[in-house]
Amino acid sequence: MKSAEPAALDAFEAALTLGDVKGRSPWEDAWHRLLKNRAAVISALLMGMMILVVIFGPMLSPWDLDYTDWDHTNSPPSLANGHWFGTDAVGRDILVRTLQGGRISLLVGVVATLVSLLIGVTYGAIAGYYGGVTDRIMMRLVDIIYALPFMFFVILLMVVFGRHIVLIFVAIGAVNWLDMARIVRGQTLGLKRMEYVEAARACGVENRDIIRRHIVPNLLGVVMVYVTLTIPQVILVESFLSFLGLGVQEPMSSWGALVNDGAQDMESAPWTLVFPAAMLTITLYCFNYIGDGLRDALDPKDRL
């Protein structure tokens, strides 16, 4: 400092009086990168529209979910009779059913993922950070649950508690957090060796504050990518369950249940299959593109 030129010191003094500079966090940087990714942005907009339509569409439609229009059973898509997506064998409007099914599918996807996120991140971060015996016991427990056959688990739940929509959340959430916990644990193992964690320990910061302030925020990049890839996976699992008849119950439906119904009438009434399947596919694609975009945007190698 002694060697600094007087002019430099003056400049330093002058700069001291300037207002605060606003920093740009890594999150903002990632956000800007994400906005440049066309596929991700379009997917996000599509998804936003999909969510709005799924929520408000059924309210605007003249048809009820379980209304059977006996004058137009098995009607192909038609503007004239008001069934834009056609009707099924008992005259129910496919458009309303598809939108209603979308509500359930997206809800299952989001809620089950959030549940797995909450449990998985907490569990994985604790196991990874404390390490040692704690880690071993916690992760062996994960292995044991992982080893249970999923279908067996679901059927068991159904038998014991009866068919209920909440059970689907529970069943899918109970299995999905295992992956999340493993991913988070692995990341935590790396993060806890970082010098800023050691610096925090040297400052006497308590373990739970270290996990909260230093570990979890730095995990979120990976976790967010994983979440966007888990949502479509969960939607698929729900569809699969519904396809097998273990999912939601009539008159409620989900995309999986609709595809199942449609598949049975595929030859006589293809529209009962095509529309729900198309919505499901678009959603899956959108989430995958968003996930891809997020991964590119949050890639730590790009950060500097």
Window 129 to 188, contacts with another protein (CB under 8 A) = none
Least distance from C-beta 34 to another protein, angstroms?
Answer: 17
The amino acid sitting at 18 is L
Query: Which of 59/203 has CB closer to another protein?
Result: 203
Would you count residue 6 as binding another protein (CB under 8 A)? no
Query: Which of 279/297 has CB closer to another protein?
Result: 297
Least distance from C-beta 191 to another protein, angstroms?
Answer: 10
Whether residue 223 contacts residue 117, with contact meaning beta carbons closer than 8 Å, is answered with yes
Would you count residue 15 as binding another protein (CB under 8 A)? yes
- Residues that bind another protein (rule: CB under 8 A) add up to a total of 35
Least distance from C-beta 135 to another protein, angstroms?
Answer: 14
Helix (H, G, I), strand (E, B) or coil at 87: strand
Least distance from C-beta 203 to another protein, angstroms?
Answer: 4
Interatomic CA distance for residues 230 and 236, integer angstroms: 10
Would you count residue 22 as binding another protein (CB under 8 A)? yes
Which window, 71-79, 145-153, 159-167, 195-203, contacts another protein (CB under 8 A)? 195-203
Count of CB atoms within 10 A of residue 80's CB?
Answer: 7
Q: Residue 272: exposed, middle, or buried by beta-carbon count in 10 A (0-12, 13-18, 19+)?
A: buried
Query: What one-character-per-residue DSSP string does 171-235 give?
Result: HHHHHHHHHHHHHHHHHHHHHTTSHHHHHHHHTT--HHHHIIIIIHHHHHHHHHHHHHHHHHHHH
Query: Which of 175/184 has CB closer to another protein?
Result: 184
Applying CB under 8 A, which of residues 31, 56, 161, 196 lies at the interface with another protein? Answer: 196
Q: Residue 241: exposed, middle, or buried by beta-carbon count in 10 A (0-12, 13-18, 19+)?
A: buried
Nearest to 154 by CA among 139, 169, 141: 169
Which window, 1-9, 123-131, 136-144, 287-295, contacts another protein (CB under 8 A)? 1-9
Least distance from C-beta 26 to another protein, angstroms?
Answer: 6
Interatomic CA distance for residues 115 and 124, integer angstroms: 14
Window 199 to 238, contacts with another protein (CB under 8 A) = 199-206, 209, 213-214, 217-218
Query: Which of 175/225 has CB closer to another protein?
Result: 225
Would you count residue 18 as binding another protein (CB under 8 A)? yes
**Residue 18 per-residue DSSP state:** S
Binding site for another protein (CB under 8 A): 1-3, 12, 15-16, 18-27, 194-196, 198-206, 209, 213-214, 217-218, 303-304
